[in-house]
A and B are shown apart, each in its own frame.
Chain A
Amino acid sequence: MANLSSEFIGIKSPNPFWLASAPPTDKKYNVERAFEAGWGGVVWKTLGSEGPPVVNVNGPRYGAIWGADRRLLGLNNIELITDRPLEVNLREIKEVKRKWKDRALVISLMVPCDEDSWKDILARIEDTEADGVELNFGCPHGMAERGMGSAVGQVPEYIEMVTRWVKKHSRMPCIVKLTPNITDIRRPAEAAKRGGADAVSLINTINSITSVNLDSFSPEPSIDGKGTHGGYCGPAVKPIALNMVAEIARNPETHGLPISGIGGVTTWRDAAEFMALGAGNVQVCTAAMTYGFKIVQEMISGLSQYLDDKQIALSDLVGRAVPNVTDWQYLNLNYVTKARIDQDVCIKCGRCYAACEDTSHQAILMKPGRVFEVNDAECVACNLCVNVCPVDNCITMVELPKGAVDPRTGVKVGDYANWTTHPNNPSVKAAE
């Protein structure tokens, strides 16, 4: 078994799987159940200022979309930060941390955008012996209307300012949680770094309406016939999150800034992918809310097996894919592949044919007996057939060797060459 011990900005945990700040980490009871199940750490659900706590809606607070067999693919929520009194949360955090010393316990915070509010809350949590703080600049619903959450996260100057206050008034490691509801994720990450953040975590949830009730014409989740945009998460958001993590990891301004990866992590594979793109650890929420805390056991066994198979340490995995993330203009235009259909495993559903014939390049031939074959002279290697095929590895992309003639273009496969030097590129011509 590979050693999964993790150290993230000085915070140790037995594995890199943390529960994200969310309903599963709202109170001692849940957090202890999570630790019993094996989670390496938690980010306690966001605390607000002292005083009367926020109130939540009393109707449904989650909406969802589903795939086949009602498998939950995306979840959204309109829940606010913790609605329990600050003192109760602080007492429980202290109790839990004392009992579970080997686990990471980070406190998520969201208070109004003034220095005194932050100074005050930081002083209040000092006594809990928690390992660090995470600044919630991400929640896109409810709190944002009150000038907090993503309202801060969408303005890099605010991020920098608040982060600076936090570092000034606290010795705790500080993670800045970013909202994806912005144009360019690199700007808030740079601001966090300038403010002195020890790490960023991302993504928080995405503004969304999951569905509309076609009888009442209310967005879901519906509160007395009305709905509001909620934060979207779960497997559906993973591709968006992976890209944002990679953007920060490969940005020279933020390269090396520790990242806690969040967004649709459901299995060990998802976690490994986030880490390969530069995340030092991952935070999970929707998967736990869908299947319960036990899923961490699969994550632990899966990641261990993977690291053993690859004979690499956990630290070797982090950032391993980052050098391979590049801009389109640097992609090798002389890399030529063709789809190949394995007739032995083909079940003859014809989905590749329908997709290619109707919507792509008419590069799949349907022959008598429902035999589907690729016509290399038309195949642009778009990969759509691979993506719609229901059988794993039935259709694969095979690379043409250097020197081979591409039957589509009649051109020999040459050496690496990209757009920056391509004759069709007007910028190249302009430079001449």
Chain B
Amino acid sequence: MSNSPFTPGIVAGRLPDAAYARNFADHEPPLDAHEARVAADRCYFCHDAPCITACPTAIDIPLFIRQIATGTPEAAATTIWSQNILGGMCARVCPTETLCEEACVREAAEGKPVEIGRLQRYATDVAMAKGLHPFTRAPRTGKRVAVVGAGPAGLACAHRLAMHGHDVVVVERRPKAGGLNEYGIASYKTTGGFAQKEVEWLLSIGGIEIRCGVELGRDVTLAQLEAEYDAVFLGIGLAGVNALRTPGEDKAGVRDAVDFIAELRQTADLSTLPIGRDVVVIGGGMTAVDAAVQSKLLGAENVTIVYRRGQEKMSASAYEQEHATSAGVRIICNAMPVAIHGNGAVREVEFAYTRETPEGLKPTGETFRLKADQVFKAIGQTLAGAPEGLAVEGGKLKGHQGKVWAGGDCAAGGEDLTVTAVAEGRDAAEAIHAALTAG
């Protein structure tokens, strides 16, 4: 190890080799059987449980927890997967603190919700380790459906369609299936190649063909898909990234956070992945937190998240914010970038403090500069590469138009979460199934 956290510039190998394994290990280790039983015992089996309502996929949480408590995690997994075929990944990446666990009555009672996410992971892990896939295909209908995008929405849609007996072809522009499960999300939330394992497990139902490296608009057109298939589902995510529109944005060392995260996820040996000494992340969401925390874990000396509005407006949950600060990330709120300085490469980022006014966010006139040799932009993604002629509302695709359905981050409605994408993909599959079998 020739480099250290204090080595200037963007360099690899800032840490001893052992530190990478430690830093990127499972950040919330799985429950063992005893821990799961203890955690499951806390569930009150509420009537019309608020946790179910809070779950975008409406998993019957009290039922699956009772199934764990009675020693049948396999049945619990079936309950989970019936609503959410990517229940294993969602157990790992869902912001449960703002969904099911926030709604848990024991959160109200004691400030300590039932550990729903970890219990869900326990059940799905146990069942997957046993090779259980509790779904079979209905007799083939002869209908063919194209799914564009092998992310959570596309995969959920494909699985449900295959279950109903339709034949599904999924086209995916990237080399691997999984979407943000594979290319987004902090590495320590989904260790051990889980995203690919889950895709393989999902495909074991049969009837789904995935074609990677096929991009809509480049390799195939929507018109072709509509002509060749009985229905088309678009789960193309948000491929575009918002620009800062700040002078100096083009300097070396300034990069989209999503690209950094994707590269990190695809890097087998993290000691080879370069990272800055002074890293500045601009944005206030989960992507910002994931980029910042992982920068720190790669050995950056100083990592700062700068968000233009107040802390309460950050879309990263309080839990995520705390996770960042406990990892050593500094969070600065109410500051927006006004210039990126440096001779070719970034050296400093200049920010203006802001305040909320009835006319919107305004600079207070006070500015400050942060030393930076690497800047990650995490101020949101946008719809890009959507086929011409489809209706767009609020920057997103309409859910259903003609033979075309859309779901996940690219579609209107719901939060941009894995679990929401799964729900939308599943529901689109049901709608497609209804349309294809009507009459």
- Which residues of A line the B interface, CB within 8 A? 68-70, 347-351, 353-354, 357, 366, 370, 390-391
* Per-residue A-contact encoding for B24-61, CB less than 8 Å = 1, 0 else: 00000000000001100110111111100000000000
Q: Chain B's nearest CB lies how many Å from the CB of A65?
A: 14
Chain A interface: which of B4-12, B102-110, B257-265, B430-438?
B102-110
CB distance from A371 to the nearest CB of B (A): 13
Distance from B401 Cβ to chain A, minimum over Cβ atoms (Å): 35
B42: min CB distance to chain A, Å: 8
Q: Which residue of A lies closest to B46 (CB)?
A: A349
Partner of B48, one of A69, A70, A350: A350
Contact between B41 and A351, CB atoms less than 8 A apart: no
Please tell me if the beta carbons of B47 and A349 are within 8 angstroms of each other in the complex. yes
Query: CA A357 – CA B48 in complex, angstroms?
Result: 12
> What's the minimum C-beta distance from A361 to chain B, rounded to whole angstroms?
16
Whether the Cβ atoms of A354 and B47 lie closer than 8 Å is yes
If the complex has contacts A348-B108, A390-B109, A391-B109, are A370 and B50 also in contact, measured as CB distance less than 8 A?
yes
Q: Which residues of A contact B48 (CB under 8 A)?
A: 350, 366, 370
Compute how far the CA of A87 lies from the CA of B44 in the bound complex, rounded to whole angstroms.
55
CB distance from B115 to the nearest CB of A (A): 14
Question: In the complex, how many angstroms separate the beta carbon of B417 from the nearest chain A beta carbon?
Answer: 24
Name the interface residues of B61-83: CB closer than 8 Å to any CB of A. none
Contacting B41 at CB < 8 Å: which of A68, A370, A391?
A: A68
A348–B105 alpha-carbon span in the complex (Å)? 6
What separation, in Å, do the CA atoms of A370 and B46 have in the docked complex?
A: 11
Flag B102-136 by CB within 8 Å of A: 1 or 0 each.
00011011000000000000000000000000000
Measured CA separation A370–B106 after assembly (Å): 15
Whether B109 lies near A351 (C-beta < 8 A) is: no
Q: Known: A370-B50, A390-B109, A391-B109. Contact between A349 and B44, CB under 8 A?
A: yes
User: In the bound complex, how far is the Cα of B42 from the Cα of A68, in angstroms?
Assistant: 8
Residues of B within 8 A of A68 (CB): 41-42
Chain B positions within 8 Å of A350 at CB level: 46-49
Contacts of A347 in B (CB 8 A): 105-106, 108-109
Residue of A nearest to B41 (CB): A68
On whether the beta carbons of A390 and B50 are closer than 8 Å, the reply is: no
A355 nearest in chain B by CB position? B47
Give the number of chain B interface residues (Cβ < 8 Å): 15
Nearest CB in chain A to that of B107: its residue: A347
When distances are taken between beta carbons in the complex, the residues of chain A under 8 Å from B46 are: 348-351
Q: Is the CB of A69 within 8 A of B45?
A: no
Q: Which residue of A lies closest to B47 (CB)?
A: A350
Would you call B47 and A353 a contact (CB within 8 A)? yes
Give Cα A390–Cα B49 distance, bound, in whole angstroms: 15
In the complex, chain B residues whose CB is within 8 Å of the CB of A357: 47
User: Are A69 and B106 closer than 8 Å at their CB atoms?
Assistant: no
**Shortest beta-carbon contacts, A-B, top 3:** A350-B47, A354-B47, A68-B41
Residue from A69, A348, A349 within 8 A of B38 (CB atoms): A69
Contact A390 B41 (CB under 8 A): no
Chain A: minimal CB distance from B438 (Å): 35
Given A69-B38, A70-B37, A370-B50, CB of A351 within 8 Å of CB of B45: yes
CA distance A351 to B44 in the complex (A): 8
Contact A348 B41 (CB under 8 A): no
The contact string, 1 if C-beta is below 8 Å from chain A, for chain B 137-160, is 000000000000000000000000
| Cβ distance A64 to chain B, nearest Cβ, rounded Å | 15
Chain B residues, CB < 8 A from A349: 44, 46-47, 105
Roughly how many angstroms separate A68 CA and B44 CA in the complex, as a whole number?
11
The CA-CA distance from A350 to B50 in the complex, in Å, is: 10
Q: Which residue of chain A has its CB nearest to the CB of B38?
A: A69
Query: Is B37 within 8 A of A390, CB to CB?
Result: no
16 contacts between A and B (CB under 8 A): A68-B41, A68-B42, A69-B38, A69-B41, A347-B105, A348-B105, A349-B44, A349-B105, A350-B46, A351-B44, A351-B45, A351-B46, A353-B47, A354-B47, A366-B47, A366-B48
CA gap between A366 and B38 in the complex, in Å: 30
Q: Nearest Cβ distance between residue B434 and chain A, in whole angstroms? A: 31
The residue on A at minimum CB distance from B37 is: A70
Q: Which residues on B sit within 8 Å (CB–CB) of A70?
A: 37-38
- Report the separation of the CA atoms of residues A348 and B109 in the bound assembly, to the nearest whole angstrom: 9
CA distance A349 to B49 in the complex (A): 7
A213 to chain B, nearest CB (A): 13
A70-B38, A351-B46 provided; 16 other pairs, C-beta below 8 A? A68-B42, A69-B41, A70-B37, A347-B108, A348-B46, A348-B50, A348-B108, A349-B47, A349-B105, A350-B47, A353-B47, A354-B47, A366-B48, A370-B48, A390-B44, A391-B109
Q: How far is the CA of A68 from the CA of B68 in the complex (A)?
A: 13
Give complex CA distance A422, B41 in Å: 46
Output the least CB separation between B52 and chain A (Å): 11
- Which B residues are in CB contact (< 8 Å) with A69? 38, 41
- Bound Cα distance from A221 to B371, whole angstroms: 70
- A69 to nearest B CB, angstroms? 5
Docked CA distance A351–B48 (Å): 9
Q: Which residue of B lies closest to A348 (CB)?
A: B105
- Tell me how far the C-beta of A342 lies from the nearest C-beta in chain B, rounded to whole angstroms: 13
Assembled-state Cα–Cα distance A370/B48 (Å): 9
Nearest CB of chain B from residue A432's CB, rounded to whole Å? 48
